[in-house]
Each structure stands twice: as C-alpha cells, then as structure tokens.
C-alpha cells in the first residue's frame, strides 16, 4: 500500500479549506440552489477521481460513465429521500471493513448513518441443520447456503423501501453460531439520512434498483484466501481442513451469484485499500460539500 496516497489527500483537503476561490453557499431548499451544488460537486468529484487514478494504488478501479450525472440528478429531484448506499463483493473481499470505515468517518463528521447487514436476512435453516447433523454436513450434501433462494429477499426489499421513506425498521437477526436460527424483527435500525447496506445479498434479485450508490468490492484472490482462512480458524474456531473445504464452496458460489453483479455496480473499489487514504477521500468529499463562502451583510 502506498502511504503517499494519504499524504496527498491530506494536502488536497488543506488546500480546499484554505482556498479563497469559493462559491457562496446556495439555498438548498430551492431547486436552483441544489443544481448549483450538484454542478459544483460534479467538478470536484471528477478532480478526486483524476487524482486517485494518478496514484500508485487507486481506490476506484472503475466508475460507471453515467454515475455522477445520475446521482446528481437524484439529489436535485428528491433531496428529502434517504441516501441508500449498497456494498457487495465476494467473501473476504473487504465489504465489512470498508463499510465499517464509512460508518466511522461519517459519524466522526457528525452525520447520521445507519448500517444494515444483509447476512441477517438468511432464512431460518435450523430444522435442516438438525436433520443433517450440522451445518457442514448440510453444505456437503449440496445445500447452497449463499443462493438467493436462501435469503428473505421479500422482507429485505420491504425493509429497504420503508427505511428509505423515513420509517424506522426492525431487521431479523441470523445467529452466527452454526445453529441456522433466524430471529424475526430483532434489530432496530433508525432511518438516518444515510443508510449503508452491505453483504452478498445486497444486489440479489431487483434489490440493486433501490440504491442511490451501488459499490462492488474487488480484492486479489490470494489476499481473500489468506483473510478467509485466518478468519475461519482464528475467529470461528474451524479446523483447517473444514475451512479449506468451505473456501472451495464460496469460490464456486461467488462465481455463480456474486461476480455477475459486478457489471451493474456504479463503482468498483479496491478491497485492499489503505483505509487512511480511503477515509481521506470521504473527508475530502465532505469538505467540498460544506466549504462555501458565507454571504456578508
């Protein structure tokens, strides 16, 4: 990882704050004010993309050509709606790490944010696990745990639609203890201005159409393998043989269910990114969004 990235983004933030070339703060309650802001942000976002592309280890691996314009139009036309950010990627790609970093930075900037993990929408398979004598036996019998059919997608879609309208929700909770138990309406989630949704099921079915920003995390296979085996053995107390067997399963599941969603993402990010540099980009975006000249009387 290139630590110079972090120094460079810090310099950009400092330059932006100290710049004397600022626009007067628009009236965001008026459409013309929002249009001015979005044009300004488009310019700044293109600058940060150009800077990131010039670095040794860029965060943004790919951006859809129409994303900036599409997102800007959404801010102009429907400013009251919650901003839904969807994050997906293969297992051990860094989804949760980047999601947690987004949450950390946003909260440090005193902005309201809520997190939803789609893994909590797994269906209850406790009966099947008992029938087969354990989760591993069920998987080895050919049951596809990561298939879209194994998620409560109808409930997930309803929850996302309601939270985007400003309603607080109660998410189910899937217990990560190998029992396969799902507890309905268990986790309270506030409808904050920014909602980050992460997990393999984020873009399953037609869910991807709900998001204002869709992000796919991509990481080198060797890095993912090392992360997965370490997590399985150290955090989940799996033996190495079973961890390797499950790795083979998730590789195949990723090819079938996750990788096809890559082409529909607004942006593809490097899951092995320097988190300080990634945080700096988020802080830069916040800085340019709020760094206006105040009108004097």
Any idea what the CATH number is for the domain that residue 248 is in?
3.40.50.300
Q: What is the rounded average pLDDT of the residues 77-106?
A: 91
Q: Mean of the per-residue pLDDT values for the chain?
A: 89
In a domain, 238, yes or no: yes
Indicate whether 277 belongs to any domain.
Answer: no
Q: What is the number of structural domains in the chain? A: 1
Mean pLDDT over 111-133 rounds to 95
For the chain, what's the residue count?
Answer: 297
Tokens of 14: 């400092």
Per-residue pLDDT tens over the stretch 58-69: 999 999 999 988
Residue 11 in domain: no
pLDDT at res. 4:
55
Determine, yes or no, domain membership for 209: yes
* Domain that residue 124 falls in: 60-272
Asked if residue 130 belongs to a domain, the reply is yes
Pairing relationship of beta strands 182-189 and 194-198 according to DSSP bridges: unpaired
Instruction: Assign 190 to helix, strand or coil.
Output: coil
In a domain, 18, yes or no: no
Question: Of 169-183, 187-201, 234-248, where does mean pLDDT reach its minimum?
Answer: 234-248
For residue 296, the model assigns a pLDDT of: 43
Q: Is the dihedral of CA 100, 101, 104, 110 positive or negative?
A: negative
The pLDDT, as a whole number, for residue 16 is: 72
Number of H helices, E strands in the chain: 10, 8
Is 6 a member of any domain?
Answer: no
Classify residue 226: in a domain, yes or no: yes
Assess whether pLDDT exceeds 50 at residue 282. yes
Share of the chain above pLDDT 70, in %: 93
């Amino acid at each position: 990882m290139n630590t110079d990235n972090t120094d460079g983004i810090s310099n950009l933030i400092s330059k932006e704050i100290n710049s004397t070339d600022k626009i007067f703060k628009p009236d965001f309650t008026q459409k013309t004010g929002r249009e001015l802001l979005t044009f300004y942000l488009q310019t700044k976002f293109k600058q940060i993309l150009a800077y990131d592309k010039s670095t040794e280890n860029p965060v943004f691996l790919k951006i859809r050509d129409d994303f900036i314009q599409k997102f800007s139009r959404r801010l102009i036309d429907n400013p009251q709606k919650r901003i839904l950010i969807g994050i997906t990627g293969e297992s051990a790609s860094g989804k949760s790490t980047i999601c947690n970093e987004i949450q950390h930075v946003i909260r440090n900037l005193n902005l309201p944010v809520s997190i939803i993990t789609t893994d909590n929408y797994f269906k209850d398979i406790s009966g099947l696990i008992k029938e087969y004598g354990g989760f591993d036996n069920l998987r080895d019998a050919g049951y596809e745990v990561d298939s879209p059919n194994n998620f409560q997608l109808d409930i997930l879609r309803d929850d996302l639609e309601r939270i985007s309208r400003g309603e607080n929700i109660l998410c189910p909770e899937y217990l990560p203890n190998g029992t396969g138990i799902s507890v309905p309406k268990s986790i309270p989630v506030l409808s904050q201005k920014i909602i980050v949704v992460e997990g393999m099921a984020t873009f399953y079915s037609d869910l991807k159409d709900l998001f204002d920003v869709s992000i796919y995390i991509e990481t080198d296979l060797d890095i993912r393998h090392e992360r997965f085996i370490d997590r399985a053995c150290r955090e989940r107390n799996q033996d190495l043989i079973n961890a390797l067997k499950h790795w083979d399963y998730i590789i195949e599941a990723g090819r079938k269910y996750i990788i096809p969603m890559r082409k529909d993402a607004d942006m593809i990010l490097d899951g092995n990114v320097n988190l300080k540099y990634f945080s700096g980009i988020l802080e830069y975006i916040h800085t340019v969004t709020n760094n206006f000249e105040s009108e004097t009387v």
